[in-house]
Structure 1
Amino acid sequence: MISPIRSMGPLAPARRNGSVAAQGETPQTPDQVTLSKGPNGPEGPDKPRPRGSVLGKIARAVGLTVGLSTIGLVGIGAVVPAVIQHPTVHIAPQNMTALQKHLSFFDQNHDGNLTRSETAQGLQKLGLSPVRSQVTGSLINAGIGVKSSDHWYDFTTVNLSKIHSSKHGSDTGIYDTQGHFVQSKYDELWSRFDQGNKGALSQSDIQAMHASLSTDKVGDVASKAEFDLLMELAGQNRTMADGSSQRVLTKERMQQFYDGSLFYQLAGETAPF
């Protein structure tokens, strides 16, 4: 009679700590065993992931998206204009609107088409670093070129004859819908926001102006970016009535900003108008 024990064959592998060691393998020690999760596992019910790790992944994803988008804009601005021909648009200085004069400084070859690389060159003349000039130039041209470019697939090249169509919300209104200078709006800006009649706009004055003129989020971002860059490029330090030193935009420089002569002056060049 065959023994019942022998008929069962080799003994089943030893079960230890919730895992089964296969034949020929060294049984796992407790610190090597992966504990099962779930309602019946040794650790009990699954625990939710810490909130911080999820937010961190989202932040990294957003940062990567913004970074890749910026790189893409720089790449598009560098490649597309090189293979696409734009008709030359000659606008005599005496026939330019104030808004066209405002941007004419950046039109390096005076063909009426403002490319991303030309904007970058102009910003570098005004004191920005080469890398920052490239990135900022791409963002500026992409922002205004969406409505004023000749081709949707070359939205970083701006046609200056269409620049008036790129006006955004939360604007001062100093340029009208055709790009002409509006003196009454300019005077209103100073009467409303030059606190203390000091003949200059401080950072707090400009913040109050943004809050008062706000009409939409996109316009808010565009307007703030424009004045932040203007303050950096053309702001001047002035001692205030309380003895503090603040960076301000003087009335003279603001007038030059809107009539188009400011960038030429800052770069040490003569305006052609």
Structure 2
Amino acid sequence: MARDVSMEKESMTSEALNAPVTAQRRVRDDLEDYIPKPYMSRALVAPDTSHPHGTRGHRHNNLTVLQQHCAFFDQDGDGIIYPWETYMGMRALGFNIVASVIMAIGIALAMSYPTQPNWFPSLLFPIYIHNVHRIKHGSDSGTYDTEGRYVAANLENIFSKYAKTKPEHLTLGEIWEMTEGNRDAFDPYGWWSGGILYILARDGEGFLSKEAVRRCYDGSLFEYCAKVQAGVHSKTT
């Protein structure tokens, strides 16, 4: 009986004595107390322990969570994102002209061709939302699976592993540590994407909250930030 208990404990442990990194980057073992089947890939919503049903009021429109993340930049809703639409989206989020141009060009060059419905590239560099699962970048946490669905357990693991200064919040240094822990070789876009999110959504104390990260995954963060920016502009004009 004692041996059975010992074996059960070993089978459930997430730390190995001869791998100190497993103790330094701990994972939560209580997620099922908050989220039903946290390990299951979810197609339409992005839950966490505080929001087990995803973002209240956010419409998924039968898009995957990854498609929802991208759909904000589809300014005319035709399922295709052109570089000028990415530029307008970045401006709506509050990025300046130079940064918006650079990001629009970089995103188009990196992501357009893999989403094309045929072998012939388009000089307009469109990104087809229908195929955005093909451009899921590396150096990430695996919160999106390869089909663009959302895995809640992997979002929670980001914060259990790397949020050392303040629970459920990341500093810029902790984001860098996370990137170092997950990065793939020759994947510069994946390396700096976390920094862009930090610039966009950090709070007044310089922290990036889990709620901001979660809402980035389903795109509702972009909608919120755009409304805030529109409110700021309306007050100053």
Letter in 2 for 1:268: K
1:115 to 64, 71, 82: 82
Where has structure 1 moved over 4 Å in runs of 4 or more? none
Q: Which amino acid in 2 is paired with 1:147?
A: P
Structure 1 partner of 2:210: 251
| 2:144 aligned with 1:175 | yes
Count of equivalent residues: 168
Structure 2 vs 1, CA of residues 155 and 163 (structure 1 numbering), >3 Å: closer, same or farther? farther
C-alpha displacement of 1:224: 2.6
CA contact (8 A) 2:159 2:167 kept: no
Q: Which has the higher contact order (CA 8 A, sep 6+)?
A: 2
Matches of 1:154 and 1:185, distance apart in 2 = 37
SS at match of 1:198: coil
TM-score by length of 2: 0.66
Q: Is the 8 A contact 2:111 2:135 kept in 1?
A: yes
Task: Please report the RMSD computed on the Cα atoms of aligned residues, expressed in angstroms.
Answer: 1.8
Q: Which of residues 186, 195, 217 is equivalent to 2:186?
A: 217
TM-superposed deviation, 1:120: 0.1
Q: For residues 124 and 191 of structure 2, what CA distance do their matches in structure 1 show?
A: 22
Aligned to 1:192: 161
1:131 Cα offset (Å)? 3.3
User: Take 1:207 and 1:130, find their aligned partners in 2: how far apart are those partners?
Assistant: 26
Partner of 1:227: 194
- Decide which structure has the larger Cα Rg and report it: 1
Conserved in 1, the CA contact under 8 Å of 2:183 and 2:190?
A: no
Please report how far the alpha carbon of residue 190 of structure 1 lies from its aligned counterpart in structure 2 after TM superposition. Answer: 1.2
Provide the residue aligned with 1:127 in structure 2.
94
Deviation at residue 229 of structure 1 after TM alignment: 1.2
The C-alpha deviation readout for 1:182-218, integer Å capped at 9, x for no partner, is: 1111111111111145221111111111111122122
Tell me which residue corresponds to 1:37.
none
* Corresponding residue for residue 73 of structure 2: 106
Q: 1:120 to 1:190 in 2, by over 3 A?
A: same
2:220 corresponds in structure 1 to 261
For residues 1-31 of structure 1, what are the alpha-carbon distances to aligned partners after superposition, in whole Å with 9 as ceiling and x for unaligned? xxxxxxxxxxxxxxxxxxxxxxxxxxxxxxx
The answer on whether the counterparts of 2:69 and 2:219 sit within 8 Å (CA) in structure 1 is: yes
Give the deviation of 1:169 after TM superposition.
Answer: 2.1
TM-score by length of 1: 0.58
Q: d(CA) in 1 for partners of 2:204 and 2:85?
A: 29
In the alignment, is the contact (CA less than 8 A) between 1:138 and 1:156 conserved in 2? no
* Match 2:128 to one of 159, 169, 178: 159
CA contact (8 A) 1:107 1:114 kept: yes
- Does the CA-based 8 Å contact 2:179-2:191 persist in structure 1? yes
- Which whole-Å CA distance do the structure 2 matches of 1:136 and 1:215 have between them? 21
